[in-house]
Structure 1
Amino acid sequence: MAASTSLYPRATVKRIVKAHSNRGISKNADIMVFLDYTLFLQQLLREAAIQAKLNGERGISPQAIRKVRETALQKFKG
């Protein structure tokens, strides 16, 4: 069986979260942060695709992402 590769550097994510919160974090907190981040990106791209289609664009443009950014951030606000 081949060695599995990580989707992200766990130690780096833990260090960043710990530095921003000034507190210790639990063993698997970095996994939850990564999953929340991927869900946020998925939601952002889904809403940007809808916005781009409404504007008659063929693909997702930076303008479409900017228009939906605040609403997507509000949905994931802790």
Structure 2
Amino acid sequence: MAAGQKLYPRATVKKIVKAHSKRNVSKNVDVLIFLDYALFLQTLMKEATINAKQVGERGISGKSVKKVTEMSLAKFKG
């Protein structure tokens, strides 16, 4: 973490999630949200890499990421 950056308050994250879901949330819901987000990004980049190689690109481009975003989001829909 860079100097000067603050962590997002855990209580605030829990309040936001509780307000949107209208359900009780567990004690470590913020950690679970972060881990799910990290797993989503990992999947997105892996799929974008595969797509870029199939198209013949040398690296990952924004176009490759856009093509696989919907598919990756569908995998993580709750």
- What TM-score results when the alignment is normalised by the length of structure 2? 0.76
RMSD across aligned positions (CA): 2.0
The unaligned stretches of length 5 or more in structure 1 are 1-5
Q: Which residue of 1 aligns with 2:49?
A: 49
Q: Percent identity?
A: 64
Count the aligned residue pairs.
73
Give me the whole-angstrom Cα distance separating, in 1, the residues matched to 2:11 and 2:60.
33
Shift of 1:13: 3.0
Q: For residues 8 and 55 of structure 2, what CA distance do their matches in structure 1 show?
A: 35
Moved over 6 A (4+): none
Distance 1:7 1:55, change over 3 A: farther
TM-score normalised by L of structure 1: 0.76
